[in-house]
Amino acid sequence: MTGSPTANRLSIVLPYFSENEGSLPEVEVAFRESALIPKAFALLFSRGGVVASEGEPTLWMRDTKEDVAFTGPECADLVIGETADPFHVLLGGICVEGTRIPDLGVFVHQGGLILDYRMGQEWGLDQISALMTLLNQFRDMDGTVSVPWWGVQGEAAFLATLALNREAGNAEPAIPHSSERYT
């Protein structure tokens, strides 16, 4: 990838990934139709995502006013149905086009998903490209992707990188097959 237009574009956003300065930058993915949010969340599991949170993640159930164990991607349906409060879970193992993406925090709410990530050395050009491909898969599902945390110049560089990644194409379909399991 070195020296290619894609590598050059990815190099522009590398500083937003490579140096861990303690923050957890966020990537927002909004959906106009709430029914797409559980499908987008399930996509993360279909790409190999597994819970990487310390301890057992839980959801707060509004009607019973108690925590229940997080059981998988179907929990997003509970948020959309207003049965559970929005929740955050850490996912590891997500692979896109053969590249493992470093762990992503995922906040599921009624407007979409907010992904957060720890900056650091585990983010190379291949990992950033894989993340961009994943984000374009969300866009293929009618998601709108933004990075307000990055500021005006950073978001412009991010969106240009996302567009270049889309032009390069992504080999995996955005919507998982119904026969895929999420364990």
| DSSP state at residue 21 | -
| pLDDT at res. 18 | 86
Does residue 28 carry a pLDDT above 90? yes
Q: What are the residues facing 90 on neighbouring strands?
A: 105
- Residue 69 C-beta-side C-alpha neighbours within 13 Å: 5
Find the radius of gyration of the CA atoms of the chain. 16
pTM (predicted TM-score): 0.87
| DSSP state at residue 175 | S
Closest-CA residue to 36 (of 143, 132, 137): 143
What percent helix, strand, coil does the chain show, rounded to 5? 35, 25, 40
Work out whether the CA dihedral 108, 87, 45, 9 comes out positive or negative: positive
Q: What are the residues facing 119 on neighbouring strands?
A: none
pLDDT digits (tens, 9 = 90+) for 125-164: 999 999 999 999 999 999 999 999 889 998 998 998 898 8
What separation, in Å, do the N-terminal and C-terminal C-alpha atoms of the chain show? Answer: 33
Phi, psi of 140 (to 5 degrees): -65, -20
Query: What are the start-end ranges of the H helices in the chain?
Result: 5-13, 15-18, 36-46, 75-80, 125-140, 151-168
- Residue 105 C-beta-side C-alpha neighbours within 13 Å: 15
pLDDT digits (tens, 9 = 90+) for 78-133: 999 999 999 999 999 999 999 999 999 999 999 999 999 999 999 999 999 999 99
Cα(23)–Cα(37) distance, rounded to whole angstroms? 25
